[in-house]
Amino acid sequence: MSGAIDRDREREIYAEIRASTPLIVRADGRNFKRVLAEHKFQKPYDERFARGIASATESFFAKSGFNPVLAYIFSDEVSLYFRFVPFRARIEKLDSIIASFIASALTIILDFKDPIAFDARVIPICGDAEVIAYLAQRQAEAWRNYINAYGYYGLIESGLSAAEAEKRLRGMKAGDVHEMLFRMGINLNDTPGWQRRGVMVVRQSYEKEGYNPRAGKKNATVTVTRYRIAQLWDLPLFNTEEGENMLRRYLSE
């Protein structure tokens, strides 16, 4: 029996592929356009869904056994930054556990009745500067997703078919889409910032008074640093000085 098990393990030719840390794992929802339609979420953005995926990510921080530094979320995408990971950084383990945790947590939070799925990929990273560049790039993608989503559904509401809307948007610049929507009565300046800039989940440090019984009566009260998990819904642009300073602050926690 042990020989058969050993042979089976020999066939697991990808099982020992490892990543180097630090790293980012990005999880993406699979076929979520269909999922959102079936559950009648608002288009192009639904705050209940956004809060659900942010809460699923917060649950990952609190209950997964992993220790991410921060996470950036937009649409159905979650990027988690780690300095250290368990399972000796085996990529199969990281991808499968993180994707399944996010999927199951979101299912519970939003009370889905049908299965949902996420995929995940490991992205090597080197130092805070690369993390900031990566997050700025994903935030830029969030902006493109935002413009295209409002443009697409605006055209659908105006009477175009899905194919016609996609054809109309092809090659249009963001400013042109903005102007087109304004003529339709949709002012993108009135939309919530999280739709175009995303959401972060972070660990925030704070000071708390505690009691040290060994210090004697005079010095029994001490100040200790504690950490809490927080969701940030009003983000600056990461490619600005304000945004970079904010990211560096959380990267140093």
Tens digit of each residue's pLDDT, the chain (253 residues)? 555 556 677 788 888 899 999 999 999 999 998 888 888 999 999 999 999 999 999 999 999 999 999 999 999 999 999 999 999 999 999 999 999 999 999 999 999 999 999 999 999 999 999 999 999 999 999 999 999 999 999 999 999 999 999 999 998 888 999 899 999 998 998 999 999 999 999 998 887 877 666 665 666 677 777 889 999 999 999 999 999 999 999 999 8
In a domain, 234, yes or no: no
Cα distances (Å, whole numbers) of residue 188 to 61, 191, 201, 221: 32, 5, 25, 52
Examine residue 8 and state whether it is found in any structural domain, yes or no.
no
Q: What is the tally of structural domains in the chain?
A: 1
**Sign of the C-alpha dihedral computed for residues 25, 68, 60 and 136 taken in this order:** negative
CATH number at residue 79: 3.30.70.3000
Provide the residue range defining the domain that includes 169: 16-197
Please check whether residue 242 lies inside any domain of the structure. no
pTM above 0.75, yes or no: yes
Whether residue 98 contacts residue 28, with contact meaning beta carbons closer than 8 Å, is answered with no
Is 249 domain-assigned? no
Identify the H or E element spanning 236: none
What single-letter DSSP state applies at residue 235?
P
